[in-house]
A and B are shown apart, each in its own frame.
Chain A
């Protein structure tokens, strides 16, 4: 019951503080821009008589590009909205009135976590759905393995959420935010190094990318999502910036799941034992 109450209050807080509405308004702006871009693209293709096969491939690339932007927005949304929930309430003392109620601390943390999961799931589902709806209406295509891609983007967000929670039990809000974003930045950079390493067949560069993914598997999840959602041709021909020779394996996805669970366990353990 405690988990449900805390999840509810966390979700309601995001709604009441207009966080969700602002994010959705920004998302609507993004989708509008995306639709306008696609519209002019389609018009241009028609004028120049581009072949349907190429049109289709470019539409696929546009979906992936749109989802890449959604992925970045989801990463920022995850970290920025959740970073203050533990460290902020501990620092301000807000947590004291809650933590003295007959609810174990792990349930307080789990409730907050589920509240954010619900909010982020809603956000990601709307945004990913929106991008696909726009491309379907305007170009007749959707991402190839939409559900797998959606789940992988969602999982990336939840990995980052759990890591942000773990940092929030040790550090101040600002430090937690810097650390979570920094760690994702490291994974992001590592991912690109791995890509270039694969193109130039530099094993050491690939290793650097793999190590970065072990330290933070968030970017690896996006790359796997991109692989799942792109057209097979784009993956094989490397005609998209998201094509990859070094596709994160299902083992890496499994590792990300374990990573998420460990981050959450660390957060619970620390929160249950810390002075409030």
Chain B
């Protein structure tokens, strides 16, 4: 079977330069169909520009992107795509129902079907009591909800959500999580661009870490992340050579006086590490394995300077 058929998004060496400034350096990414995919990276790492290139809003300087098997920006394919922009700005003189009707008409949804869908979506995002208010009177959270409803109007196969929960209260965040899960259950693919790593950890099947405009790591959640272990190790008499030698087992090593913070691919290597340290003359007082959170992994991978 053609592999591209299984992929909702496939980009190869995507690059974007704005007036000499590199926004996205070399984005190669594959997002399988039916997954909730987290797109993670620090501010300025090129996430939003990458999403815009996938949607055909921004034209790449080089490289290519296939969305649902068609070139990015293909007009017909957009019928199957939903998008909630990061800075959701809509015509604020409309009511939420009018906004949804306008976007539904742009999708080409028949009138009767659209009327029903608008009503269902207003209920879904809990905005029915505000259906006759103008959007200019909406709070940020309410705008985000109507933006989300707008992204679901066409029952899309692929949904891009750029920071969908940034303006929401905890109740709103849970609502978004539930909606994302429902979309996955329906068979849709969701690309979730978010800074809220806790949300991503709960919601996503897979994440890609982006740094300096390229994907540095892609990993499955609820699987590989559990295998990967953090180790807090307290030992004396450690020399620089001994610490450097730990890199044969550890993905990363950080020393804080007598404490070493290691990240290892599996807890099975811990006895080997202890034997190594003892053999090198170190005094080992404590070895504590612990699960690495997505946030820790994020900081390990992208650090604090991932932006371009």
Contact = CB atoms under 8 A, between A and B. Distances in A.
Interface string B63-102: 0000000000001101101010101111101000000001
B76 A9 contact: no
Nearest to A89: B89
B108 interface: yes
Contacts of B267: none
B196 interface: no
A100 B89 contact: no
B56 interface: yes
Interface stretch (A101-109, A157-165, A223-231): A101-109
Interface string B124-167: 00000000000000000000000100100000000000000000
B90 to A, nearest CB: 6
B105 interface: yes
B59 interface: yes
Nearest to B162: A96
B83 A100 contact: yes
Contact of A1 (B76, B79, B108): B108
Interface in B110-129: none
Contact of B75 (A5, A17, A102, A275): A102
A25 interface: no
B89 A93 contact: yes
Contact of A96 (B76, B81, B85): B85
Contacts of B79: 102
A71 B35 CA distance: 59
B107 interface: yes
Query: Which secondary structure characterizes the binding site on chain A?
Result: helix
Contacts of B83: 96-97, 100
Contacts, number: 66
A187 B268 CA distance: 82
A9 B75 contact: no
A13 B136 CA distance: 13
B58 interface: yes
B93 A13 contact: yes
A3 to B, nearest CB: 11
Contacts of A98: 103, 106
B102 to A, nearest CB: 6
A275 B57 contact: yes
B190 to A, nearest CB: 15
Interface string A210-245: 000000000000000000000000000000000000
A36 interface: no
B70 to A, nearest CB: 12
A27 interface: no
Interface of A: 1-2, 5, 9, 13, 16-17, 92-94, 96-104, 273, 275-276
Interface of B: 18, 52, 55-59, 75-76, 78-79, 81, 83, 85, 87-91, 93, 102-103, 105-108, 147, 150
Given A93-B85, A97-B83, 18 more contacts: A13-B93, A92-B89, A93-B87, A96-B57, A96-B83, A96-B85, A97-B85, A97-B103, A97-B150, A98-B103, A102-B75, A102-B78, A103-B75, A275-B18, A275-B52, A275-B57, A275-B59, A276-B57
